[in-house]
Every structure is written in C-alpha cells, then in structure tokens.
Structure 1
Amino acid sequence: MEEDPFAELDDPSDFHRDPDYSFFDRDRHICFLEMMYQLLPSPYQEQEINRLTLAYFVVSGLHILRAIDRIDKEVVIDWVLSLQAHPKNAAYLENAGQFYGFHGSRSSQFQSNDNGPSEQVEAILNGSHLASTYCALAILKIVGYDLSLVDSEFLLKSMKNLQQSDGCFMPIHTGAEKDLRFVFCAAAICSMLKNWSGIDREKAKEYILSCQSYDGGFGLIPGSESHGGATYCAVASLQLMGFIKEGLPTTNTSCDDVNVPLLLDWSLQRQALDGGFQGRINKPADTCYAFWVGGVLRILGADKFMNEKALREFLLTCQSECGGFSKFPRLLPDLYHSYYGFCAFSLLEESGVNPLCVELGMSGIAAIGL
C-alpha cells in the first residue's frame, strides 16, 4: 500500500521486536490471513470497492499455505456469486456495450432512483470490472466450485465489448484506462472458463508485442518504461493464450517477435544486491516483484539463473512477526505484499506450501481442479 495503515503509531519501527528471520513462519501467516478473513482492519475501508480483490488475496493465500479448510467454502461461494452482474435481456449486450462480469464489492451494486431511460439506469447499476471478475472466478475455482455453473454466456459476450481496436482491454465499458493488466485479466478469465470466445487472441498478442521496450522488458502501454508487473502480465498472457510452450516461444508461432534474450537479460538484472527483485531499474527491491519477475523467469524456464538463497534471505527480512509480509524490510505487513510473498515462497518450493500455477497466479492444485 502507498500509505502506512498504522501511521498513528508513534514509532512503527518499534512494532518489530527481534523477529526470527531464519525460517518461513507458515503458522503465523495462516493466523494473519484468518484474521483478515474475519475482519479487515479499518485502514482498508478506503479499499471497499476492491473487497473482492482483498478476498482473493486471503482465500488464495490460505490455499497456497494449505489451510483452505479455515474458511467456510459455501459462504464464500454464495457471496462471490451474489456479486455477478446480469443483463435484463440480450439486447443490452448489443446496444449498450456493457460488461457483465463481477462487481468489486457490494457498494458498487447500489440502487439508483434514476427515472430516465432504462438503458441509462442499467448502465448506472452495472459496476462490474474485469479485474474483479478475474478475482471472483479465481476464488470460485480455489474453493472447488464448478465454473461451468457460472453464467458465462453473457460474461464472455460482453467482455468482447472491452477489447479495443488495438487489441488491448479496458476494465469497464466506458471511461477507463487500458493497458496490459486487463489483457492478462481477460486471458486468465477465458483460460479458467475454458472458453476463448471473449477475446481476439491474435489482436491481443499484437498489442502485447507492441509493449516490449528497447531494453527487453514490457511497459503497461506501448512506449512506456519497462516494469516488472507489466512484464509478468505480458508473458503470462502469452502463455495462457498458447503462444509460449515449454518455457520459450516456439518457432512455429508469431511470438518469435518477442526478443527473448533481451527479456531474460532485463529480468535477471532486476535481482538487486540485497537479493530481492526490483520492479524497475534504480528502484529498491520490493517483496511483490519476487513473484512478478520471478514468475516471468519461471514461465520462461530461466528461474534456475536467479540467486534463490539471496532472494529467500531478502524475503525473510520482510516477514512480519505478526504474520504476513511488508513491501520493504522492517515495515508493517499488508495483504497485497503478503500474498505475493507467499507466492514467492511457493516459487522457491518452500516446504508445506502448495506449488504455484504461475500464469494464473494461484495454487497449481486449484488451477487444475481440486
């Protein structure tokens, strides 16, 4: 998180008292996630609209830590399904260009007293979002729900409305930014639903290729600075769409346009002197990039070249004595960095942690079905 949620403490550095950095404290991390499942701390109130994403970090985190039994799966399933948007009829798909995925929280399902045309009221009521839809389907898959039971017809048909002429995606039907994050969400959604009718893969691939920078990494949009998160979205999307096989792009696909040697060089150079991974050049190492960049290396079959011992040592300095991980060493933990810290230890094949399906960002066991 950008702001310290515990800013009211006189000296946040005093929060840690001789933490043990020698081992991955799985039990304490499970307790941390259980606490977040029961009641989110008040600093998360400003993230209410992203409640589904926060739930994804908790549920998926518990599954990675082999503790999914700590939650009531049926309650979770009912709550997630209640957040799906449904059109009144098929005409809305053709006329309004709406997207019918999942809302990020209950607050985006507010009712309107608007007495205008029904199409306008429908647009106001529909606050579904591509990233929230990815998180919703991931949660359902993790808790063992049969995704063939999801009302995917309207979801996928309307998702096509979000793909732009250049192949990129917007997360909502109007007035939003577009970049590689939402290409990844669309690819992951289609992969989980085992139905690729919601995306033009060739156009999406061309957009991804246009985002590779001169130094080998990928920016969120064409011409922007290479970034660890954007590079993951690019490589994972290509993998999900079938353009990368057995670690590296095959010679019989048009992904030969990816400059793989330069991409590998950029990615490996992101491991800093302290062992952690940075998201951009000249930035400090950050817990989450152990997954974003480490995941890229795993997909490309090059993770054997990173210094795993140094990475592990860095991550342990970001482990909190109250459970979870912080962004930088000796700060307080947050859900986002905690989740990707767990993912990073899965990549490092930590004992007692489920293996990861890197391209979907969840446990491999959940990805193939429980």
Structure 2
Amino acid sequence: MDNNDTEAPVLDGCDQPKAQEEEPEQEWPYLDVHRHLRYWKMCIRAPLPHIYLSNESNRLALAYFIVNSVTLLTPPPSERTPETPEPLISREDKKLMRKWVLHHQHPTGGFVGTSSLVFPLRDYDTYNFDTKTSDEPDHAGLANITSTLFALQLLALLADEEDEAAAENVFEGVNRVGTLRWLKSLQREDGSFGEALSDLPGHGRFIAGGYDMRYCYIATAIRWILRGDVKEGSPGWVEDFDTEALARYILNSQTYDRGFAGNSQDEAHAGYAYCAIAALTLLDRPLTSTSPSTKPQPHNSPLLHSSIRDLPGLIHWLASRPFVYLEPPPPSASTDPDTYIYQEDDLDDPNFLLPPTPSDLLCLLDTLQKEKGKQVNVAFNGRTNKVADTCYFWWVGGALANLGHLDELVDREAARRFLLEKMQHRIGGFGKSPGSPPDLYHSFFGLAVLGLLDHEGERGKVRAFDAGLAVPRETVGVIERARGKLIESEKKGGKGFDEKQTVRGKEAVEMGLELRGDGERPKWLGACGY
C-alpha cells in the first residue's frame, strides 16, 4: 500500500467511503490535516473497532489521545479566519465531555479509567472518608494513577478557549486535596510509585502495580498540575510525597549503557528514558512556565542537569536511537512490493544504517543523499537493534527536548519526512510502522512529534507541544490558571467538589450516546441494564 496514493477513498464520520475532495497543491510529503481530522472524527462519532475492547478499562486514555490530537489540529481562536472550519469538538460537546470526565472521579481522590469500573454504590453508606475503609471489601472501582493524569489533562484540553474566564474553572469539581493525599499513599519506601491501592484478603491494603518508570513520571505530572505553592497551615495545604526519595529511585535506574530502565539491571528503553527525564524536570519545574513564544522552551532544571550520574552518556544513548531508514526488500522475487507490509520480525534483511557514532549520522545522510540523488529518511528505535516505530520518535525526541538537545542531535527535515512519507496513513492517522494501519496511540504521537519539531511546514497546522506535560503549550497555560483558581477557592473555604460524587454508569452512557449523535441505542445496552 502506497501511503501517498491520492486516489484512495476517505472515511467520512463512520465507515462509508466518500470521493476524495480536491486538495491544495503542496509538495509531498505534507501533513494532510483534512484526512487526519476525518480520522479523528470517526474516532469520536463512531464506535471504535472491536480490537479496542481490551482497552475498556482505559477509556480515559483513549479519550486523551483523541481530544489531544483534535486540539493539536485545531487553530487557537486568535489564529482562526473566516475560512477556518468549525472546530471538530464544539463548545457544547466540551461541556458534556468535561461532565463525563468528572463522573470518573473516586470519592477519596483520583479517577477510575472507565465508567464500567463503578465504585459500588452500597459502599457509600459504610465508607469512612478519613480512614478510606469500608465494611464492604469490594473496591472494583479503585482509582489508578494513569487515569488520574489523563482525567486532569482532559479537563484542561476541554477548556472553552473562546471564554478565558470559563477556562479558569476547568478544575472545578476536582477533589484536589483528596487526590494529592491519595497520590502520596501510592509511594513506596524506595521512592517509586505504584498504580493503585488494593485490598488483599487477610493481608490488608497494599500498593498494586509493578515497578514502572511511567508511574514515577505520572506522579510528578499530577503533583505539578495540582499542588501549587500553598504554604503549610494554609487551607488547601497537603503534605508532599517524598520528592528526594523519588529522585534517588529515578537516578539509580540508569543502566550500564547509560540509558534508563525500570531499574539499573533491566534493558534500557527510550520510553523509560523519557519518563525518567520528564519526571526530573517536573520535580523542579516553575509553577508558571508558559512562554508567549510558540516554540517550546525547556527550563534549566538543576536536578536534571546536575544529578544524573552520566549525563553525556545518556545523551549519547539517546542520540544513537535515530538511524538512516532503508526500504526493506520483499522476502522473495515473487512478492508484490506494492502489497508487501514489512513486519517487525523480518530481521534477516536489516533496513537501517547506523553510523559508528551519533555525530557521524549527519555526514552519513549527506553522503547517501549524494550517492542516491534523493532525500534519505531518518527513523527512530527505542532499544538497540529494534526497527522503526512512530512512538519511539516521541520518546526519543521528547527526552532530547527536555534535555535541551533536540535541535543539534536530530535532523528535523529527514525525521519529519520519514514520519509523513512512511508512517502517515492515506485515510488519516499514523501507523506503528511503515504500512501499518493507523491506531489512536501512534496517531496521537505522530502529531505530538510534529508539534515538538515545530517545523515551518507544519506551522499553522499543528500547535506547538510541551515536551514535559504532553499537551499543547496553550493547554499548559490553562492548567496554570485553573490550578490557581482551584487553590484560591479552597483558601476561601470552598471544597470545589461533592464528596459523594461518584461514577454513575448510566449517566455516563447517556452522555456517550448524546455525543455519538445518531440517536440509536445499541442492542447490547439493554442486556447491561441501560
């Protein structure tokens, strides 16, 4: 399948093909915003394919990928013109979606991942909000750390950008104090974080979830979003988690080859490296760090730049992840190259050229381009000897951006060309690898990378992206203002949330049907009692 085939049909809303509309003359490869918005419209308005059923417990994550992507592709009000199409998510839809997100809040703090993991309603009659215990042992709807971050990011992403005063209230209804206390309870003695609190019959409460660097990053992001600078003794003050222990845990997870992993004995991975670096930056990131510039600016983190055991080695390891991408040959002469899809297991014919040192990559690119007489692409892997992947581009690029070394270590044009030419799908979205169908996860990260690169070809098409908080730069400003408004409300004696507010499955289903917009109720809902 040739990803730049302009004769391919485009999906309109659901799954019916529609004739391709005329596109303006542009030099390929370019970001086809029209098709990408159609792809995300399909994700919002139509049921997702059955392969997403395994993500039922992660609905907030799926919503985060969709809403964040639509926001990246939607110009801010100040840049819209009479010719700009109406936003894909209307102001009214944002209100409904915000209400849907808040319905996932757990009464003791944090958020659950989906309305189907309901905190048992009978538990509210016997639940002690101080001790966080109940006579009923069933806690199927316990909050988890990943869903909590996605919920907070979603609330900020769903701000009404045409009403700045309303945007300041996006955290209204969030149990800030309860969430920060709950977050502190997820930290282990070694400084690491788990995913959730759970009850083991006969053994009491324990911190569930593995030792995962992602949880450490998420903890620092939640802390930065909600904590603020409330002084001890003031209304809204909450005891902080042990930031020094967390920093030690992260720093001790640098591996022998100078990357980062879950611990120093595991294999280094670009995803863990990003999470480790971003967590360190967030631990000492200023509470107001937005800039009027459209280009993301990393802050000069003392913790990041002075505490990593081998910072040059880490930068070298990250700079070794880009490589020259070569078209993999078909497995045999009888295979049609137009229909062949390269598989990750096809390692007999390497499809990359890695220079002896990262500094030689640009020289290698120049040499190959002169020999071949055409532009050469640069791809990224996340571990040694792995193949190209769209999300690795984000993990490596985001890590280098947080370190302040993206510009000099990544050939933006060659990397951008690979992403748009090989990973961009003809129906919109991005695939995991060349020839792969698009999915929510990789489609979002493809746009995030373009927002990170801030390339001239995408300026005005994709918003500039924040490498630390993984939202557009304008959304960071919303978070800062909303945090201030929430804390101000608490200082005046307001709670800002209903202690008995819970996940109400039926109400969440009704809101989902209303957003869907076709008025039809799936037959299977009746079997679920809805």
Q: Same fold (TM over 0.5)?
A: yes
- 1:286 equivalent in alignment to 2:295: no
1:151 CA displacement: 1.2
Contact 1:112–1:125 (8 Å) recurs in 2: no
- 1:84 equivalent in alignment to 2:105: yes
- Residue identity opposite 1:293 in structure 2: V
After TM superposition, the structure 1 = structure 2 runs for residues 43-62 of structure 1, keeping only pairs within 5 Å, are 43-62=51-70
User: CA separation in 2, counterparts of 1:236 and 1:257?
Assistant: 13
Partner of 2:141: 126
1:312 CA displacement: 1.1
Matched residue SS, 1:280: coil
Partner of 1:9: none
Partner of 2:467: 358
Moved more, 211-220 or 196-205: 196-205
- 1:315 equivalent in alignment to 2:424: no
User: CA separation in 2, counterparts of 1:328 and 1:191?
Assistant: 34
1:53 CA displacement: 0.1
- 1:325 equivalent in alignment to 2:346: no
Contact 2:251–2:307 (8 Å) recurs in 1: no
- Residue identity opposite 1:62 in structure 2: V
User: CA separation in 1, counterparts of 2:309 and 2:157?
Assistant: 32
1:37 CA displacement: 1.2
Matched residue SS, 2:380: coil
Residues 198 and 85 (structure 1 numbering): CA distance in 2 closer, same or farther, change over 3 Å?
farther
Contact 1:30–1:67 (8 Å) recurs in 2: no
- For normalisation by structure 1, the TM-score amounts to 0.86
User: CA separation in 2, counterparts of 1:308 and 1:155?
Assistant: 39
- Residue identity opposite 2:410 in structure 1: M
1:162 CA displacement: 0.4
- Residue identity opposite 1:312 in structure 2: R
Contact 2:60–2:113 (8 Å) recurs in 1: yes
Cα-to-partner distance string for 1:306-363 (whole Å, 9 max, x where unaligned): 1112211211211001110001011100000000000011112122111111100110
- 1:140 equivalent in alignment to 2:155: yes
Matched residue SS, 1:336: helix
User: CA separation in 1, counterparts of 2:101 and 2:463?
Assistant: 23
- 1:273 equivalent in alignment to 2:324: yes
Matched residue SS, 2:398: helix
Cα-to-partner distance string for 1:15-38 (whole Å, 9 max, x where unaligned): 985679511112211111121111
1:255 CA displacement: 3.9
- The percentage of aligned residue pairs carrying the same residue is 33
Contact 1:187–1:199 (8 Å) recurs in 2: no
Contact 1:142–1:367 (8 Å) recurs in 2: no
Structure 2 unpaired stretches of 5+: 9-26, 77-86, 128-133, 160-166, 199-207, 230-238, 287-296, 326-377, 480-530
Contact 2:155–2:171 (8 Å) recurs in 1: no
User: CA separation in 1, counterparts of 2:158 and 2:248?
Assistant: 34
Matched residue SS, 2:177: helix
Q: Which has the higher contact order (CA 8 A, sep 6+)?
A: 2
- Residue identity opposite 1:346 in structure 2: G
- 1:190 equivalent in alignment to 2:223: yes
Contact 2:257–2:313 (8 Å) recurs in 1: yes
1:289 CA displacement: 1.3
Contact 1:356–1:363 (8 Å) recurs in 2: yes
1:41 CA displacement: 2.2
After TM superposition, the structure 1 = structure 2 runs for residues 1-370 of structure 1, keeping only pairs within 5 Å, are 13=1, 17=5, 22-39=29-46, 40-66=48-74, 69-71=87-89, 72-87=93-108, 100-109=109-118, 111=120, 119=134, 121=136, 124-144=139-159, 145=167, 146=169, 148-149=171-172, 150-174=174-198, 175-195=208-228, 197-242=239-284, 249-250=301-302, 255-274=306-325, 275-304=378-407, 305-316=409-420, 317-349=422-454, 350-351=458-459, 352-369=461-478
- Residue identity opposite 1:329 in structure 2: P
User: CA separation in 2, counterparts of 1:60 and 1:253?
Assistant: 27
User: CA separation in 1, counterparts of 2:323 and 2:99?
Assistant: 44
CA RMSD, 1 decimal: 2.7
User: CA separation in 2, counterparts of 1:226 and 1:160?
Assistant: 27
Matched residue SS, 1:276: strand
Moved more, 73-82 or 240-249: 240-249
User: CA separation in 1, counterparts of 2:309 and 2:39?
Assistant: 40
Q: Which has the higher helix share?
A: 1
